[in-house]
Structures are given as C-alpha cells and as structure tokens.
Amino acid sequence: MPKNSKVVKRDLDDDVTESVKDLLSNEDTCDDAFKKSSLIVSDVREDKDRDIEEGFLSDEERPAWNSKLQYILAQVGFSVGLGNVWRFPYLCQKNGGGAYLVPYLILLILIGIPLFFLELAVGQYVRRGSIGVWNYISPHLGGIGFASCMLCFFVALYYNVIIAWSLFYFSQSFQQPLPWHECPLVKNKTNTYIEPECEKSSATTYYWYRMALDISDSISDNGGLNWKMSVCLLAAWTMVCLAMIKGIQSSGKVMYFSSLFPYVVLICFLVRALLLTGSVDGIRHMFTPKLEIMLEAKVWREAATQVFFALGLGFGGVIAFSSYNKRNNNCHFDAVLVSFINFFTSVLATLVVFAVLGFKANIMSAKCITLNTKKIVGFLGNTISPDLIPKHIDFSNVSPEDYTQMIEIIRRVKESDFLLLGLDSCNIEDELNKAVQGTGLAFIAFTEAMTHFPASPFWSVMFFLMLVNLGLGSMFGTIEGIITPLVDTFKVRKELLTVGCCVLAFSIGLLFVQRSGNYFVTMFDDYSATLPLLVVVSLENVAVAWVYGIDKFFEDLKEMLGFSPFRFYYYMWKYITPLVLLALLLASVIQLGMTPPSYSAWIEELAQEKSRSYPTWGLVVCVSLVIMAILPVPVVLTLRYFNLLDNSVGGFSSVSYKKGRIIKDSGAPDDDDDASLIHSKSPCSEAPSPVPGNNIYRKQSAGLDADITPNGRYGIGYLMANMPDMPESDL
C-alpha cells in the first residue's frame, strides 16, 4: 500500500477472501483456542481519539433512515405531542395571552435550541443510544443513560394510558348524537329524572368521570379494573409494539402518517372554527397581551419549563433517533428546524383551541343570558321595578349588549342587594378566563364545544384520531429511548426486547386503568418526569461542557459537520444553559417543598373536584419515583469510583468483519494511515502470530489482548508477523 493513501470502502472478491482464509490457515497448530475464535474488528481508544463511525457500529451494520424527511418527521413526531395541544394554550391563557409568546420564544433560542442541538450532536457523533453516548462522554457519568431509560419507561407507562382514553372516545364518536351530548335519564317505577351527578355538573363532565373512567372518590379506593379502558390500553400497546418491533425500519414508515395527520386536522379545525360564531372573540382574547404579567418571575419559569419539556430533552429519544444518521448530517440545521416547527405547531394548536373555546363561550353566554333573563322577568313588579328596564329591550330576544345594560342598571340601583338576586354577568371574557388544561381541556371543554358543531361526530372522530396520532408519535420516541440504548449495550434482539418491554409496560399499566387510575396518572406525571428530567439534562450539559470539554466537543463538531458551529453555542453550553437549568431545578425543588403533595379527587355526591392529600403510602410512592429515576447516576458513579465496574467499558467497541466487505469511514482520515504491525503473543508460543491490521484479531475465550496500531486510527489490511523489513500485504 503506498504511503499517505486514503482509507476507502471497497468490496472484496472471492479470491481475496480465499487468500485471507489461506493466511489464517497458517496458524500454529497448538493454538486450538486461536482456531476456534471469531474474527472481529476492534477499535481500542487511547485518550478518547477513536473513529466513532467505525468503532461504534454494532455487531450488524447500524440501521439508517430511508430519507432525511423520514428522520425530520420522527423528531417532529417525538417533540410535538399532547402537551402542544393542551398545555401550551393553557399557559398562554394563564400568563398574559400573546405576551407569553415573547418569553417563550426568547427562552427557546437561549436554552431550547442549544440543548436540542447538543443532544442531536452527541447522538450523531457517537452513533449510540443514551447509555453508550454518556458512557463515551464520561464513564463516571454513564448513569445518565440508564436514568434516561428509567424516565422513558415511567413516562411510557402513563402516556399510553392517555392514548387509551383517546381510543375509547374515538370508538364512541361514531354516533349521532354524541353520547356526551346530554345528560342521561334515569327511569324508575314512578317517574323519569336526570342523573343527579350529571345535573350538578355537565353532560361532558359526567361522561368523562362516570362513563369513561368510572372514577372512585379517592386514590386509596382502587375499585377494581375498568374493563373498557383495559381493552383500550391493550390496543394502544399493541399498536406501539407492532410499529416499533423492527425499529426505525417499521416506525419510520408509520411516521409519515402519525406526524403529518395532526397538522391536517389542526388546519381543518382552524378553518371550521373561524366560520363559527364567537371564534374571533377567542382569538382576540388570546392575542390581547397583558404586558404587566411579563415582569413576573413565574411566567419566565413556566415558559422555560415548557420549552424544556416540549422538545423532549433528556428522555434519550432525541439521541436515539439521531444515532441512526450519517456522520456528516447537518444536525445544527435539524435542531433549528425542529425547534421552530414545534413552536409554530404550539401556536397553531393555540389558535384552534381559542377559536373553539370562543365559540363555546358564546354558546354558554347565550344560555346564561336566557336563564338570567327568566329570573329578571320573575322579579319584575316585586323586587325589580319595570321602569328600570330600557323600553327597547325585547325579553323574547335579549342580545348580550342589552343584557349587560340591564345588569348594570339593576346593580347600580340595588347596590348591596344585588348579590341576593343571584344574577350572573354572563360575560364572554369571564368564560374565556376559565383556564383549563390537560384532560379537562381535551375530554371536557373541547368535547362540549364539538357537540355544538354541525356534523359533530365527524369532528369528534377527527379530533380524537389526532390525539391518538400525537400520542403515538411521542410514544415511538419514548420507546426508542429505551430500546436503542439497551440493544446497543447488551446486544439483545430488538424484536424480543420490544415485545418484552411492551408486555411488561402493559402489565404495570393496568394500575392506571383501575377506577382510581386517573389519580396515579397525575402522580406519575407530577413526580416521575419533572424533577428527575431537570437533573438528567443538567448533568448532560455539565458532562459535555465541563467533563468532556467544550473545546474538544467543538473540535469534534467541526470534524463531523465540516464547519465550526457559531460561537454563540460555546458560551450557551458552558455558562448560560447550566445556570438556567440550575435555576429551574432550584425553583422546582422550592415549589415542590412549598406545595404539599396532593391530587384532585372527583366526589360523586358533590359532582365536583376536591383537593385531597396523598396517604402515607402515596407519599412514599411519590418520593420513590423521584429517587428511582435518578438513582442510576450516583450508583454508576460510585461503582466507577471504587473500580467495581470495568473502566474499559465504553473504551472498547467492536464491529463485525463481513465476508467480502471492509466497513470503513468514508471521511478524510489521518495522513499516516498505512497498515501497521500489531504485536500479539500466541498462547502456546513466544513467536508472534499474524493478526489483521487495525486491531483485527481473533477473539479467544481466554481473552487475548491486542495492542494499539502504531499508525493511529485508520490502519487497515492483513499483515504478516512482526519481523524487520517485512513488506506490506497487498490486501
């Protein structure tokens, strides 16, 4: 091989393959173990200077995305989830309307994009799941990867239950009228009356708590399994298992539908909602900024937290997806693109939600005006003088403006006695200010609004199918965050691991489809994935910027991308994002400390929610969830510190040598990349035995050690024994 030649990827013909066999057949006959061993390629790293692409391939060639579009859709599907539809609009409504978008966008640029870029970069560079990535960055902090897997598992347990709820509502939407359109009637021998629990609340509230969840009064009263939800949960896990069983080869194809369909539905909903009465009132309410609220620290804290969770940081799904990329993929462009797609999706969803809620507010306001007008007519001549009512008002058709005028006159005249009349203001703004989020928005407020839509079953089917697809997109990334690291680390079959993981998760998930299951969903959501996630991402940032070294990381990025990232990221990763994450972590700890652990229980007799404290065992579970999620970090650190784990883990990697092909990196190698001599001892002789270059050696049961190739990372070829002036092999 000529000097300074470049490393190439080439196919070997059968003759060359046979010459390799001939070469290997010349081994010493006393080396039985050597003969029985397998030929593998190993890359032993010295001072963390290794060829990542070659060294971190698994025993088979690593799968790859079929196209860049498929990869982007996977990342978008993972980051855009249910929180974009029912969490972001609530925060926008609560924190100053349109003014909330300003701190959110600022924090997205300052912490969201840099941290998202960081995860994409390390996944693509190391080409491993979260366990392999953080073990490579710092073996002592290798527990970060296991903590990410724990977080993914905890979240998957309850997140798929929300998909099961959506599947149930989806299956019930093929009816006219919708089953939650009105309160059910109860018949007995003498008369017929409205269900009391429904009459005290509303039709959609009753259907959610009693017909769907059949909820108990407390978390201590499990009430047995809800068989309808159990079947839906089984269907949800079956869908996830079938989509993920072949890894990205199967889930990647599903992404085309699961990632794009929600956008079709959101746009259809927006167009339809804008044609409804009152939708403009809702959008105007959203974009009316309350600038004074922007000065409150709580608004910035909640905006930072939403940015943090919206992008799916810390779960390992981002790293897992990016690990299937080519090494020269421009992951900086991907980070910016996906982050802004996520932002604009949140804004689009908020427009849809406020337009629909504006329509609902007008409906509720009209009902309120009708009811209170009847009260005023009853008071005329007794409590209220007819002379107080303006002459132009027609009681058979009272407009919102006329009603407001009447109420103002009566309030001014009656003053202190006004409250005794029990008249409501019926203001649309008051209705819009009722902040709802989460399941309350999706399964109560939105479903109630859709009952007033023309062709309501069609829109209900579309809405809940959209929720199912949003949930599945996030579930694919979450499960990938579990499967990919474990397959990379323990070399188990992906199909078996996927099925086993889904079966185990379904079995544990039955906890969430008991009558008290909704309370456990709240518990897991509050404690298993909030504080631990902040800890994990903070450690990720510190591991890259301060342990691995920000300067070396920038050199790696330049080598991988072909250009050096903006200096902006240098200062963000090293100083700004660690401080912001630390502040968020402290704020979350303080908030948890100041707010006693509690949950909202539905009381059947009162037909309303009531806050209750967790029992003692519930507090133990809450604390255990936090500890279990972050426990792998100190455990691995302790084991490494006391040398109870082999420090070479993560320092060695292997790749199979396939017949007829040498798997090499096509990037530009070092200049001095000649084939080199590897010194190796035969087990039964002091004579050196010929072994392949670039640490190609026969792996023995006794564990033969191989030395590093003298010419660095890119030595290739099969060499003869280590003898002076020995010519190179043409191979």
Does 156 score more than 60 pLDDT?
Answer: yes
pLDDT at 1: 42
pTM of the model: 0.78
Task: Find the mean pLDDT for residues 549-571.
Answer: 93
Q: What is the mean pLDDT of residues 550-576?
A: 93
Dist CA 686 CA 464 (whole Å): 72
Give yes or no for residue 171 having a pLDDT over 60.
Answer: yes
Binding positions for Na(+): 77, 80, 84, 342, 470, 474
Q: How long, in residues, is the chain?
A: 731
pLDDT in tens, 198-210: 988 889 999 999 9
Cβ atoms 104, 303 nearer than 8 A: yes
Tokens (6 digits) for 182: 């009105």
DSSP secondary structure of 94-159:
HTTGGGGHHHHHHHIIIIIHHHHHHHHHHHHHHTS-HHHHHHHH-GGGTHHHHHHHHHHHHHHHHH
Report the alpha-carbon distance of residue 703 to residue 697 in Å, rounded.
Answer: 11
The pLDDT assigned to 675 comes to 34
Q: What is the structure's pLDDT at 545?
A: 95
pLDDT at 448 over 60: yes
Mean pLDDT, the chain, rounded, equals: 79
**C-alpha neighbours within 13 Å on the C-beta side of residue 276:** 28
Q: Each residue of 277-293: pLDDT tens digit? A: 888 988 888 888 777 78
CA angle 154, 155, 158 (to 5 degrees): 95
Q: How far apart are CA 166 and CA 471, in angstroms?
A: 9
Could you tell me which residues come within 8 angstroms of residue 65 by beta carbon, excluding any fewer than 6 positions away? 71, 74, 248, 252, 324, 325
Q: Is residue 665's pLDDT more than 60? A: no
> Residues 6 or more apart from 555 whose CB is under 8 A from it?
none
User: In the predicted model, is pLDDT for residue 679 greater than 70?
Assistant: no
Q: Average the pLDDT over 139-151 and give the result.
A: 94
Name the least confident of 50-54, 158-162, 323-327. 50-54
* Predicted local confidence at residue 413, as pLDDT: 83
* 8 Å CB contact between 61 and 53: no
Rg (CA), the chain: 32
Binding site, annotated residues: 77, 80, 84, 342, 470, 474
Give the tokens for residue 426. 């019926």
84-100 pLDDT tens trace: 888 888 888 888 777 88
433, pLDDT greater than 70: yes
Structure confidence at residue 435 (pLDDT): 63
Percent over 90 (pLDDT), the chain: 44
Distance, in Å, from the CA atom of 520 to the CA atom of 658, rounded to the nearest integer, reads 50
If residue 274 lies in a helix (H) or strand (E), which one and from where to where?
A: helix 248-274
> Which DSSP helix (H) or strand (E) runs through 613?
strand 608-613
pLDDT of the residue at 179 = 93
Give the pLDDT confidence of 288-321 residue by residue, as tens digits: 877 778 888 888 888 888 898 899 999 999 999 9
Q: Do the beta carbons of residue 707 and residue 678 sit within 8 Å?
A: yes
Asked if residues 215 and 514 have their Cβ atoms less than 8 Å apart, the reply is no
- Two structure tokens written together for 460: 């209900």
Characterize the bridge pairing of strands 654-656 and 185-187: unpaired
Between these two residues, 671 and 628, which has the higher pLDDT value?
628
Q: Roughly how many angstroms between the first and final C-alpha of the chain, as a whole number?
A: 8
What is the reported pLDDT for 136? 93
Q: What's the pLDDT at 577?
A: 94
pLDDT bin (cut points 50, 70, 90) of residue 46 is very low
In terms of DSSP bridges, do strands 696-699 and 185-187 run parallel, antiparallel, or are they unpaired? unpaired
Task: Give, in degrees to the nearest 5, the angle at Cα 401 between 399 and 403.
Answer: 70
pLDDT of residue 320: 93
* Region of poorest pLDDT, from 28-42, 426-440, 460-474, 629-643: 28-42
pLDDT of residue 56: 43
Q: Dihedrals φ, ψ of 602, to 5°?
A: -90, 120
532, 582 contact by CB (below 8 A): no
User: What's the pLDDT band for 646 if we cut at 50, 70, 90?
Assistant: low
Across the range 358-385, mean pLDDT stands at 85
User: Token pair 């908020």 is at which residue?
Assistant: 350
Q: Is 50 helix (H, G, I), strand (E, B) or coil?
A: coil
Please compute the mean of the pLDDT values over residues 667-680 and round it to a whole number.
37
Q: 221-263 pLDDT, tens per residue?
A: 888 899 999 999 999 999 999 999 887 777 778 888 888 999 9
pLDDT in tens, 389-406: 888 888 888 888 888 888
